[in-house]
């Protein structure tokens, strides 16, 4: 098949295979978004007189049918077709003849792939945000359920002060709310329209970029056409950073899960279905789920740097180097979503030990409580510290008071309601409904 850039000479098969690379396989993930971008583009072309109403009316049903095909996973990029853009145009031309060749007016594959990637990333972020919110809710519920169950807190992996499962679960919930700020920044970056920037220098066609921005549900557009091309690589890196931030939270929770479920700690018990066994040791119940979450989340720290290495030293304008970004970028979404799902499943299934702090080896965790009790009774803090240290050295230490933690974010005042309100506020900043309504309109729903 002739390529979109065909000038009449025969392409070298070896060069063709090398330059196309994995694009046919990866571009299938862009199929529905390429079709959405085309629907918006041709709707705009008709409005500025570059397509007739009859041509638009012929194209729209075909494109919507192709969209449904792509959504069902049945869309195919043929072996001799270069990419998703070529395949869509080919299918339209086969069905409608010369009309199908008109959909590229005022566009370049450069701005096509830009809009495809923004739409793709925007949809995947929406899906991931839903999973983050679901895990956040599960962690907050566990925090409230076990808020009075004490466990030792650690610094330097040494017993430090009293903590609780309320604090532990709640800490990871609040961490996710912080991660969502990075996700919101990524959403804001991808929610801008690059379509109409063409090959990076605009077009002499009388395009209405504001119209395609509204049709695709974007919040705004990338105005400068050179800058629109410069977002390639930057967009992927910003999104990858947001995903790495969430992954860091999950990886740390998984690390804690490995420690807390070991015999040396024993704060949580993982039911048999959440563990795996040993081929030689009959007693083993291994926390492989948490270990694999930890490994996957460490792996998710890599794409940020990989993307920078591919695109960070390029001048302005488009370069084929950027094609390789897809290989690094596309896998992060499924990887993190899988981890979010399995961590929520593990949190729901784990069993919490309620008497951990009754073990004598955690007695010294109450040393600061005793110092504070003496200080509250009038003993200068430094003298109280020395008295307690002397009692510990002599083996006579005992905590004679009760735990009274009342400040915000402490054992007795978790502030889960305030953390939840903050999470809700961040979530309200994602314009999911506006995007959904715009795309439904494009699809005639």
Whole-number Å distance between alpha carbons of 416 and 165: 13
Domain map of the chain by residue range?
13-105, 110-203+223-358+415-430
Mean pLDDT in residue range 289-295: 95
With tokens 């919110």, the residue in question is: 133
- Out of 26-30, 212-216, 329-333, which region has the weakest mean confidence (pLDDT)? 26-30
* DSSP-based helix, strand, coil % in the chain, nearest 5: 65, 5, 30
Q: Is the pLDDT of residue 251 over 80?
A: yes
Task: Quote the pTM value.
Answer: 0.93
What's residue 270's pLDDT?
Answer: 87
DSSP state of 10: P
Sign for the CA dihedral angle at 283, 289, 290, 294 comes to positive
Q: Is the pLDDT of residue 66 over 60?
A: yes
Mean pLDDT in residue range 325-332: 95
What's residue 7's pLDDT?
Answer: 47
Write 131-135 long-range contacts (CB < 8 A, 24+): 131/337, 131/340, 131/341, 131/344, 132/176, 132/179, 132/180, 132/183, 132/246, 132/340, 133/423, 133/427, 134/340, 134/344, 135/176, 135/340, 135/343, 135/344, 135/347
Going by pLDDT thresholds of 50, 70 and 90, the confidence category of residue 65 is: very high
Angle between helical axes of 381-394 and 367-376 (0-180°, round to 10):
140
Neighbours of 49 (CB within 10 A): 8
Residues pairing with 193 in the sheet? 221
Q: Is the pLDDT of residue 41 over 90?
A: yes
Sign for the CA dihedral angle at 394, 395, 400, 403 comes to positive
Model confidence pLDDT, tens digit, residues 399-410: 877 888 989 999
Whole-number Å distance between alpha carbons of 266 and 214: 55
What's residue 3's pLDDT?
Answer: 52
Model confidence pLDDT, tens digit, residues 70-84: 999 999 999 888 889
What's residue 332's pLDDT?
Answer: 98
Mean pLDDT in residue range 331-345: 97
- Report the CATH architecture of 13-105: Orthogonal Bundle (1.10)
What's residue 279's pLDDT?
Answer: 76
In what helix (H) or strand (E) does residue 221 lie, and over which residues does it extend? Answer: strand 220-221
Model confidence pLDDT, tens digit, residues 317-328: 888 888 899 999
Whole-number Å distance between alpha carbons of 347 and 293: 13
Name the CATH topology of 110-203+223-358+415-430. Answer: Fumarase C; Chain A, domain 2 (1.20.200)
Model confidence pLDDT, tens digit, residues 112-139: 999 999 999 999 999 999 999 999 999 9
What's residue 399's pLDDT?
Answer: 85
Model confidence pLDDT, tens digit, residues 12-39: 666 666 666 676 778 899 999 999 999 9
- Whether 13-105 and 110-203+223-358+415-430 share one fold: the answer is no
DSSP state of 276: B
How is 312-364 classified by DSSP, letter by letter? TT--SS--GGGGGHHHHHTHHHHHHHHHHHHHHHHHHH-EE-S-GGGSGGGGG
| 31 or 314, which is more confident | 31
Residue 317 in contact with residue 232, Cβ under 8 Å?
Answer: no
Coil, strand or helix at 158: strand
CA proximity to 115, closest of 49, 48, 207, 50: 207
């Amino acid at each position: 098949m002739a390529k979109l850039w065909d000038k009449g000479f025969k392409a070298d098969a070896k060069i063709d295979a090398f330059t196309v690379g994995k694009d046919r396989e990866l571009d299938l993930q862009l199929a529905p978004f390429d079709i959405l971008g085309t629907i918006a583009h041709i709707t705009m072309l008709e409005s500025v007189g570059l397509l007739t109403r009859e041509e638009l009316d012929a194209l729209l049903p075909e494109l919507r049918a192709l969209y449904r095909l792509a959504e069902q996973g049945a869309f195919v990029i043929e072996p001799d077709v270069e990419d998703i853009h070529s395949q869509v145009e080919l299918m339209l031309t086969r069905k409608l003849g010369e009309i199908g060749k008109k959909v590229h007016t005022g566009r370049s594959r450069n701005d096509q792939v830009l809009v495809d990637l923004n739409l793709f990333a925007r949809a995947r972020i929406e899906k991931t945000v839903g999973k983050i919110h679901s895990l956040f809710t599960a962690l907050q519920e566990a925090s409230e359920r076990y808020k009075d169950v004490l466990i030792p807190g650690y610094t330097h992996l040494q017993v430090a002060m009293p903590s609780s499962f309320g604090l532990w679960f709640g800490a990871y919930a609040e961490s996710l709310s912080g991660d969502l700020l990075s996700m919101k920044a990524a959403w804001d970056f991808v929610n801008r329209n690059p379509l109409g920037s063409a090959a990076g220098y605009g077009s002499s066609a009388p395009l209405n970029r504001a119209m395609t921005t509204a049709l695709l549900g974007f919040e705004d557009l990338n105005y400068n056409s050179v800058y629109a091309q410069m977002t390639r690589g930057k967009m992927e890196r910003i999104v990858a950073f947001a995903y790495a931030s969430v992954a860091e939270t999950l990886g740390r929770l998984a690390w804690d899960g490995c420690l807390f479920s070991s015999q040396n700690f024993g704060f949580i018990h993982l039911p048999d279905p959440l563990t795996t066994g040993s081929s030689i040791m009959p007693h083993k119940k291994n926390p492989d789920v948490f270990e694999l979450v930890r490994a996957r989340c460490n792996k998710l720290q890599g794409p940020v740097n990989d993307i920078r290495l591919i695109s960070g030293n390029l001048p302005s304008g488009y370069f084929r180097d950027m094609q390789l970004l897809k290989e690094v970028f596309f896998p992060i979404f499924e990887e993190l979503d899988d981890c979010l799902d399995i961590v929520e499943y593990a949190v729901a299934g784990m069993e919490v030990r309620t008497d951990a702090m009754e073990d004598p080896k955690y007695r010294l965790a109450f040393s600061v409580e005793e110092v504070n009790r003496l200080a509250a009774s009038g003993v200068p803090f430094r003298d109280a510290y020395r008295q307690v240290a002397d009692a510990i050295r002599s083996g006579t230490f005992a905590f004679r008071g009760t735990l009274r933690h009342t400040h915000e974010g402490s054992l007795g005042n978790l502030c889960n309601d305030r953390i939840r309100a903050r999470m809700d506020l961040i979530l309200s900043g994602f314009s999911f409904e506006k995007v959904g309504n715009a795309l439904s309109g494009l699809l005639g729903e």
